[in-house]
């Protein structure tokens, strides 16, 4: 089986989906009214021997959209000054266009059909991402619109911990509290946690390949592949 496993890539591992860890920093909790201030993503890679690892990362500072709400309590947590004159922020559409260009390339290069968001409490990040896509009228979104991998759930199942910092520590990974609530740091730690848990459960995946190898083929699926 070892030679066969080396030939199977990440497209087979997740039914044609490419996992991409994503984190957003925002001006509140309502994706439709509160500002998206920062977005970061880490592409998940697979080694020739089937191990997952964090790959290239991308980070964008985002200008609050017109009329958006910004809660001072949220800024106290993420330590973002949205109006700082030296902040290299760009409009939502430009930030998403640049990010999606990179993700689409990664999807094509790996033979996948779609990206799937990996997030800690993933519904929050996916909600803000989808709301920004609608506002910016972006037609070519590489992410699956509703499916995701939630590391809060994975951490609870595998490690007994649902808080990101605790799950990361329980997995034996480094956590720097002073760096938390930066989109790129949280995305990188989420990616590392996801890879660690998946690698430790790899034996279950390999048993599935032996028992039902046909299940490793990507589905035709209800969501068409990206262009």
Structure-block tokens of residue 66: 């017109």
What SS3 state is found at 7? helix
User: How far apart (Å, rounded) are the C-alpha atoms in residues 207 and 9?
Assistant: 16
Structure-block tokens of residue 134: 């609608």
133's CB contacts (< 8 A; 6+ apart) are 96, 141
- Within 119-222, residue ranges assigned H as helices are 122-136, 151-159, 164-170, 183-200, 202-211
The yes-or-no answer on residue 181 being catalytic is yes
Catalytic residue chosen out of the listed positions 66, 83, 120, 181: 181
What SS3 state is found at 143? strand
Q: Which residues are catalytic?
A: 181
């Amino acid at each position: 089986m070892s030679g066969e496993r080396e030939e199977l890539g990440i497209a087979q591992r997740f039914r044609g989906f490419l996992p991409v860890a994503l984190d957003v920093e925002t001006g509140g909790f309502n994706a439709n009214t509160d500002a998206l201030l920062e977005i970061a993503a880490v592409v998940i890679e697979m080694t020739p021997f089937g191990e997952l690892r964090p790959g290239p990362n991308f980070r964008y500072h985002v200008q609050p959209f017109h009329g958006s709400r910004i809660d001072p309590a949220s800024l106290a947590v993420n330590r973002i000054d949205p109006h700082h004159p030296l902040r290299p922020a760009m409009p939502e559409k430009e930030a998403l266009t640049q990010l999606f260009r990179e993700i689409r390339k990664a999807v094509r290069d790996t033979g996948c059909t779609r990206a799937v968001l990996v997030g800690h409490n993933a519904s929050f990040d996916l909600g803000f991402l989808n709301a920004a896509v609608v506002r910016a009228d972006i037609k070519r979104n590489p992410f699956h619109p509703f499916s995701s991998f939630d590391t809060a759930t994975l951490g609870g199942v595998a490690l007994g911990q649902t808080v990101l910092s605790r799950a990361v520590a329980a997995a034996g990974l480094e956590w720097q509290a002073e760096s938390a609530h930066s989109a790129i740091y949280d995305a990188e730690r989420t990616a590392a946690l996801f890879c660690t848990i998946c690698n430790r459960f790899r034996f279950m995946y390999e048993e599935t390949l032996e028992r039902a190898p046909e299940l490793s083929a990507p589905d035709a699926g209800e969501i068409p592949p990206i262009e």
